Structure 1
Amino acid sequence: MMAIRGGMSIHLASVTKSFGTHKALNNVSLTIEGGMFFVVLGPSGCGKSTLLRAIAGLEPIDRGEITLDGEPVAGNGLHMPPEQRQVGVVFQSYALWPHMNVAANVAFPLESAGKKRSAVSARVAECLETVALTPFVKRKPAELSGGQRQRVALARCLAQGAGTVLMDEPLANLDPHLRSAMEEELAAFHSASGATTLFITHDQREAMALADKVAVMWDGEILQVDDPDTLYRRPMSKRVAGFIGRSTLVPVTVVRVEGDEADVRLGGVTLEVACPRETVPGPATLLLRPEHLVLATGSHGFAATVQQTIYRGGYWEVFVRVAGIEQDLMMVLPRKAEPGETLRLAILRGWVLPE
């Protein structure tokens, strides 16, 4: 495969878009570096698709500014039409012409723009090589797999000179086993093309697998932007913590803070955990992931009573009750634990959420 061109940077400054009284985008500011695989993650109706459509030029904004590679394309009375933004969009359906073969589908935007036949042929060949579809140039969409059809849609974006590819939940209609294969396809495409990729999804597993950075969106606002590991280990709010991964949020009392570590009281147990540097002693909320809880060795640890177990294929999710803590804690075990069984546990780490 060969790279097509460098990706464009995207910058949104205080972008607002309303439909009636509903603010689909509420003062959104966001910077996406050129060449990045950037994922916007959030529940249905949070404004993800409106954000994508605003960047593509398919939806005018009410206030704020959008720039692509430093050039304003929306805001202050300006609305550059989609065809001038060098942005390609891949929708869930891929929107391929069923009567055209692969080469003709990719060539369509170039021919519509009046490009010479020799230039079109060369560009189509280059783009199909990038997405590894050269052997399939004469096939119709119906003769391709779901993954191959998606690559045709991606090649068409590149053919029209898109330095940025916007994907609106492109894996949502695929079976789970095909999604994993397509994640690998998308990662390979991004690496080969060099295009800035903005990927919209409600599936946190997709986001974690693909993204250089993830923006968590909720009710038209961006709650947090971070790399997947930081987002998982150190969410900056209860809403993000509850949306990303499996977790238990429990009330604790911070008794000591030193740098980015704190001692907290959880029930009758004192733990040393990670925390933001601005943490102060007093009531707080502790995030515990299932992997933070482990079986203690010897006589160490504290007692917990098993409430429920759920088999997940190769491991069990186990919900336990600890004296002095109102809600159950979740952990994972390689064996089944029976309800009523007493386990001795240790907590390896945790994260104090910012107030």
Structure 2
Amino acid sequence: MSIGLNGVTRRFAGKTAVDRVTLDIPAGTFFVVVGPSGCGKSTLLRLIAGLERPDEGTISLNGARVAGPHLHVPPEDRSVGVVFQSYALWPHITVEGNVAFPLETAGMSGKAARLAAARHLETVALTALAARRPADLSGGQRQRVALARCLAQGARTILMDEPLANLDPHLRATMEEELAAFHRNSAATTLYITHDQHEAMALAGRIAVMWDGRILQSGPPEEVYARPATARVAGFIGKGALLPVEVLSVVGGRARIRLGGTAASVACPDGTSPGPAQLLLRPEQVVAGDDGIPARIVSRTFRGNHWDAVALLDGVAQPVPVSLTDRPEPGDTLRLNIRDGWILPEV
């Protein structure tokens, strides 16, 4: 089920939590909204679920308007399921009973509800645990019960509000894989809210970066990472350095720049012109070599198969992150080549 938002705004006590948000989320997409705490992500989810009413704008599900001026379709009539951090399972009934509950409440017989619950538990790979109670499950298993219950209640859209926030790092990595598998198996449109950029990049088919109630940029995660629209997006998504440079010339989507007394070629958006600009450098775009810009290692951290280091380039005031295969030591000198980069658009 597709999701459409047009100019959606929500205020609380005079403060704007969601500010004129416009988004089109195609049916079947795993769409992630990422941003810092307090930026309005959860309020946006609650607006789509029908738990909040917008002050301005409209919301549509599968082309049918569900919220707008003088219109508010209640949550139970939106075919939307919500998975919160707590999962909100009934502790005194079994896994099967939790999944069957919304079906029985809707008037389905107990036997039919249990058969339907079994199908949904199979979708989330929990058939063997149907007779257990939530207290006997791991955090990841409880989450899958909540997902199965959403499917059982007929949800064609699943909204997830920071569902991995309460899990330990090892389980979070496992659950990322399970959530991706769930999405493939169910084909449900999924809107996923998180403050964790690594989680967002791992899961998203499309991603939106939210800040102070507004969507700063939306698109495929690889595009948002490689070609951020603003310095704020560049600083929030991934590691990198923003450096002042001089654009010397522009030909075919590439800019010739001067950095630290050395010229390099980097990608640039349409409309880039010669003159002062900001360059985004990601660690993988800076490589060690026999020639290049002289640099000094400031610090380094071991990451298992490489070293994350911070270096100061000659003639450049800001430190630059760089990924190295050989162990560096603070104070070491080496030469670094700029393999690529991105000139930020003027906004």
TM-score, reference length from structure 2? 0.97
Would the aligned equivalents of 1:259 and 1:277 in 2 still touch at CA under 8 Å? Answer: no
Q: 1:118 deviation in Å?
A: 4.0
Query: What displacement does 1:345 show?
Result: 1.2
Q: Which of the residues 65, 72, 81 maps onto 1:72?
A: 65
Is residue 325 from structure 1 mapped to residue 316 from structure 2 by the alignment? yes
Task: Output one character per residue of 1:247-300: Cα deviation in whole Å (capped at 9) or x when no partner.
Answer: 000001111111211101112011100000111111110000111111113xx2
Equivalence for 1:346: 337
Q: How does 1:57-136 map to 2 (within 5 A)?
A: 57-136=50-129
> RMSD over aligned Cα, in angstroms?
1.1
Residue 147 of structure 1 is matched in structure 2 by: 140
Distance 1:135 1:283 in 2: 63
Q: CA deviation at 1:336?
A: 2.6
2:263 is matched with 270
Match among 153, 157, 168 for residue 161 of structure 2: 168
**Percent of residue pairs identical:** 60
Structure 1 Cα separation of the partners of residues 101 and 322 of structure 2: 53
Number of residues paired by the alignment? 346
1:151 deviates by 0.8
1:203 to 196, 199, 213: 196
Shift of 1:314: 3.6
Q: Which residue of 2 aligns with 1:281?
A: 274
Q: What's the CA shift string for 1:136-193, capped at 9, x where partnerless?
A: 1111111112111111100100001000000000000000000011011101111111
**CA 1:340/1:117 → structure 2, altered by over 3 Å: closer, same or farther?**
closer
Q: Which amino acid aligns with 1:339?
A: P
Deviation at 1:13?
Answer: 0.2
CA distance, structure 2, for counterparts of residue 125 and residue 317 of structure 1: 47
TM-score, structure 1 as length reference? 0.95
Aligned equivalents of 1:330 and 1:151: distance in 2?
38
After the TM superposition, list the runs of 4 or more consecutive aligned residues in structure 1 that deviate by more than 4 angstroms.
none
Shift of 1:90: 0.3
Partner residue, 2:36:
43
Which residue identity lines up with residue 340 of structure 2 in the other structure? R
Cα deviation code 1:37-72 (max 9, x no counterpart): 000000000000000000000011101000000111
SS at match of 2:224: helix
| Residue identity opposite 1:266 in structure 2 | L
Give the secondary structure class of the aligned counterpart of 1:303: strand
Gaps of 5+ in 2: none
The answer for the alignment partner of 1:304 in structure 2 is: 295
1:60 alignment partner AA: R
Question: Residue 257 of structure 1: which of 236, 240, 250 is its match?
Answer: 250
Deviates more, 1:275-284 or 1:160-169: 275-284
Deviation at 1:341, TM superposition (A): 2.0
The residue that corresponds to 2:240 in the other structure is 247
Structure 1 stretches of 5 or more lacking a match? 1-7
Q: Which stretch has the larger CA shift, 340-349 or 205-214? A: 340-349
**The residue matched to 1:27 in structure 2 has which SS?**
strand
CA contact (8 A) 1:264 1:272 kept: yes
C-alpha separation in 1, matches of 2:304 and 2:115 = 49
Amino acid at match of 1:274: A
